[in-house]
Structure 1
Amino acid sequence: MRQSSRPPRLGAWRRRAATLCLIALCAPAVAAPPAAPAGPRAIVAQVADAIDRNFYDPQRAARLAAQLREEAGAGRYDADTDPRDLATALSRRLRPEDNHFRVEWRDPALAAAAPRGPGPRPSADAADASRRRNYGLRAVETLAGNVGYLDLRELPDLDFDDPADPARRALDAALALLAERDAVIVDLRHNGGGSPASVGYLTSAFTPRGAPIYNRFRARLDGQTRSFDEAPLQWYPQPRLDVPLYVLTSARTGSAAEALAYTLQAARRATVIGEASAGAANPGGEFPLADGYRVFVSTGSPTNPITGGNWEGRGVQPDIATAAAQALDTARLRALERIVAARQDGPAALDARWTLEALRAQAAPAAFAAADYLGEYERLRIEDDNGRLLLRDGRRPPQPLTALQRDLFCLSDDPAVRLRFERGADGRVAALETLRSDGRSSRYRR
C-alpha cells in the first residue's frame, strides 16, 4: 500500500475508503514489516498505534491504545506465538470496544505469491470479488400476488463518475425489475455490509429527493476530523414513494446493511421485519501491520438526523420481531394485506387476495378427506402423495395442492389457480372446476 504525504480528498474517502466491512484504503501503512518475524508484543504495539492514530474518537483511541500497551507489557499475549491465536485473542479483546474491530493474519508468503493486477491490490481484489458475487444481487423476482423480492447479500461500492459503472448498472437493473410491483421486500438477512454509496443510492430509490434523512458521519483522517453525510452523489431518477416497502434483518445483518435498514426505518419509509441486527455502525478500513497481520479500525461514526443516534451495539430493532427464518413469510403476508386493502376490485385485487389466502392456508391447511377427490377427471387426475393431493395433467410434472376449505384447493406453487370440486345429489364429488384469478375457468367431469 502506497503512503500518502497528505490526507486523501474527502470525496474519494467518502466513496471508497469509508467502505463498511470491505477493505478500504483510508490511511497509510502503520509500519514496514521487519526482516525477522515480530513477537506478540511488537504486533500488539502496532495494533495500538493504528488505533491511536485512526480510531474515530481520539480520547477513546488513546485510552484503548494505552491499555493494549500495558497488557502487552504485562505479558498478556506472550503465549500467543501462533499468529492465528494472537489475531483471535486481539479480536476478542477489541470487539467489545467496537463491533467492527478485528485483527486478521494472512500468510505473507501466499500473499506475496498471489498475482497482482493493475492499481492498488486491495481495491482490485475487492472489486473483482464483488463482480463475481454479482455485486451482492443474489435474487430479483416477482412473488405471487405481484410482490417484488430483492435478495441483496452486499452493498457494492459505486463510482458515480463512471456512467458505465457495473455495480450501479446492476442495482439499476434490479430496481427496474421491481418498478411495476405492488409491494417490495428487500432481504438483508445475509448481508454483512458494504459501501455507504449504495446505502444512499438505494435509499433515494424509495424516498423524496433531498429528504433530510441521511446519516452524517464524523470521520478521522490522519489526525484530522471531518464530516460527510450518506446522501448520494447522484439520486435515483424515479423514486417510488408510495409502494409498500419491507426490509428483512437478522443477527447477520451488519454495517452498511444496517445503515440502509436504520435509515429507511427512521424515515418511516420501510417496515423492518426479523431479528435485531449485528450492531456494527462505525465504518473504517484495514490497516496492514508486520508479518501478515491486519487490523480493522473504525475511522468514522454515524449520527442519524431523525433519531440523533445510531445502532452501534444494540442493532437495528425490528418493527415486527420474528425469527429470521420466518421473516420472509411474515413480510409477504403484510405486503399482501396492504395490497388487498388498496385494491378492492379487478384481477389484481383478486390475485392478491387469493395469494394471501393461500399463504395463510399453507401455514394452517384446512382438513380434508383425500379419498373424496382421487381419480380421473377427463384429462386431469388427482393422486394421493402421503396425504397430500397432487394434480397430474398428462406428462406435465405433478403439482401439489393446498387445501383452502372443503372442496376448494389451489396450486401450492401458483395461488392464482384454484380447483373447486363439485358434488352431486348423492354427496359424492362429480366434477372438477379450475378457476384463474383473471376470470378463466374450465370444468372436467369425473
Structure 2
Amino acid sequence: MPTNEHTVEQALARITAGYVFPDKVATIDEAIRARIASGAYEGLDDRALCETVTAHLQEVCPDKHLRLLWSEEPQSLEPVHDDGGEAAFLALLRKENQGIRRVEHLEGNVGLIALGRIATAAEGANAIGAAMRLVAHSSALILDLRACLGGSPEGAALWNSHFFPDDQVHLNDIYDRCSDSTRQFWTSAHLPGPRYADGRPVYVLTSENTFSGGEDVAYTLQAHGRAVVVGATTRGGAHPTARHPVAEHVLVTVPTARSINPVTGTNWEGVGVVPDIAVPADRALEEALKVALER
C-alpha cells in the first residue's frame, strides 16, 4: 500500500505535467512539499487526506477543479487503464439518465427540464432530444441547473445549440495545454431534438452548487442574451479536467484546459455565473415561473 507521501507526490506529478497554467506549477509544488516535510499528511485515512490536500491546494491556487477526490470504488493504478476518468463518467451518466432528472409541464404552458449532469454529446443525444421534444410546444422554458454538478463541454454545446436558429453561433472556445491548441464550439447544424429558437423565453435556474458544465450552459446562454439567469451565483469552475488515480481510493483532478467565451473574452472561473435576477436558490423556480407568466 502506498504511503500518503507517495500518493501526494504522484498527485503533484500529474499536476506538474498537465495543469493548464504551467506558470503556477512551481508554487503549487513548493507549497505542498512543504506540507509533506512538516508531516501534515501522516496518519490520515484516504478521505481525510483528500480533504486536507484539497484545502492546501486551494490555499495556494484557488482553482475549484484542482483537488483530490476519494473514490468508494477501488481504482486501477495500471497506466493502461488510466483514461482520465472517462469510463467512470460515462457509467455515471448511464446510471443517472444522462443527467436528466425530470421534465415537466407547468402552469401557463411553461416547460421545465431539470439537469443533474451534462451528458456527452455522443451518448446523451437521444435523451437530450427526447427531453426537448417533450417541451417543444411550450410557451416558455425553465432549465433548472441548480443541482447540476458539471459534465461534458461537447454536451453543453449540444444543449445550447437547441436554443439558437442555426449552426452560425460561436458558443465557446477551450484552450488545451497538452496540445497547445484551441478548440472552437459552434451551434450544431443537426440536432437530436427540435430547436427552441423562435424567440420564446428561456429561464436558467442556478444555485451555489451549480458547477462546471452546468455553469457553461448558463454562462453561454446568458452571454448571448438567449436566457435570463435566475437564482444564486454559481460556484465558479471553468476548467475542464482529467481525473487520474494516485492510490486505490484517491483520484487527483487536474484542470488541463480553460474556457474562453467569444462574447465576453473570459469565463466564470472563480467568480461564478452572476444571475440576472438574484434570489435565493430555493425560490428561483417560483420567481422564474412568475416572470414567465407575467411575460
TM-score norm. by structure 1 comes to 0.60
Distance apart, 1:156 and its partner CA: 0.7
Other-structure match for 2:148 = 191
Matched, 1:239 2:195: yes
Specify which of 25, 40, 62 is matched with residue 77 of structure 1: 40
Give the AA of the match of 2:164: T
Distance 1:147 1:204 in 2: 20
- Given that residues 201 and 235 in structure 1 are in contact (C-alpha distance below 8 angstroms), is that contact kept between their aligned partners in structure 2? no
Matches within 5 A, 1:115-130: 123-130=86-93
Kindly tell me: are residues 331 and 47 of structure 1, through their superposed partners in 2, closer, same or farther at Cα, counting changes over 3 Å?
A: same
Matches within 5 A, 1:427-438: none
Other-structure match for 1:433 = none
Name stretches of at least 5 consecutive residues in structure 1 with no aligned partner: 1-36, 113-117, 160-164, 339-446
Distance 2:234 2:56 in 1: 21
**CA offsets 1:98-137 (integer angstroms, 9 cap, x no match):** 01122124478x557xxxxx99795444323312211121
Which structure has greater helix proportion? 2
- Given that residues 100 and 113 in structure 2 are in contact (C-alpha distance below 8 angstroms), is that contact kept between their aligned partners in structure 1? yes
Distance 1:120 1:276 in 2: 32
Matched, 1:104 2:69: yes
Q: SS at 2:186's partner residue?
A: coil
Matched, 1:335 2:288: no
Q: Which has the higher contact order (CA 8 A, sep 6+)?
A: 2
Other-structure match for 1:300 = 257
> Which stretch has the larger CA shift, 184-193 or 289-298?
289-298
Matched, 1:144 2:107: yes
Other-structure match for 1:168 = 125
Specify which of 35, 47, 50 is matched with residue 14 of structure 2: 50
- Given that residues 275 and 322 in structure 1 are in contact (C-alpha distance below 8 angstroms), is that contact kept between their aligned partners in structure 2? yes
Give the AA of the match of 1:100: H
- Given that residues 41 and 77 in structure 1 are in contact (C-alpha distance below 8 angstroms), is that contact kept between their aligned partners in structure 2? no
Q: SS at 1:214's partner residue?
A: strand
Name stretches of at least 5 consecutive residues in structure 2 with no aligned partner: none
Distance 2:202 2:220 in 1: 13
Other-structure match for 2:139 = 182
- Given that residues 201 and 231 in structure 1 are in contact (C-alpha distance below 8 angstroms), is that contact kept between their aligned partners in structure 2? no
Rg larger for = 1
Other-structure match for 2:222 = 265
Count residues with an aligned counterpart.
Answer: 287
**CA offsets 1:350-403 (integer angstroms, 9 cap, x no match):** xxxxxxxxxxxxxxxxxxxxxxxxxxxxxxxxxxxxxxxxxxxxxxxxxxxxxx
Matched, 1:135 2:98: yes
Q: SS at 1:215's partner residue?
A: strand
- Given that residues 274 and 321 in structure 1 are in contact (C-alpha distance below 8 angstroms), is that contact kept between their aligned partners in structure 2? yes
Distance 1:285 1:265 in 2: 27
Distance apart, 1:239 and its partner CA: 2.4
**CA offsets 1:288-338 (integer angstroms, 9 cap, x no match):** 214432100100111111111111111100000001111111101111111
RMSD: 2.4
**CA offsets 1:8-57 (integer angstroms, 9 cap, x no match):** xxxxxxxxxxxxxxxxxxxxxxxxxxxxx332322222121111100011
Kindly tell me: are residues 82 and 119 of structure 1, through their superposed partners in 2, closer, same or farther at Cα, counting changes over 3 Å?
A: closer
Q: SS at 2:180's partner residue?
A: strand
Matches within 5 A, 1:12-411: 37-73=1-37, 75-96=38-59, 97=61, 98-106=63-71, 110=74, 123-159=86-122, 165=123, 167-221=124-178, 224-231=179-186, 235-236=190-191, 238-241=194-197, 242-338=199-295
Q: SS at 1:254's partner residue?
A: coil
Distance 1:122 1:296 in 2: 9
Other-structure match for 1:388 = none
- Given that residues 199 and 257 in structure 1 are in contact (C-alpha distance below 8 angstroms), is that contact kept between their aligned partners in structure 2? yes
Kindly tell me: are residues 227 and 76 of structure 1, through their superposed partners in 2, closer, same or farther at Cα, counting changes over 3 Å?
A: farther
Kindly tell me: are residues 268 and 103 of structure 1, through their superposed partners in 2, closer, same or farther at Cα, counting changes over 3 Å?
A: same
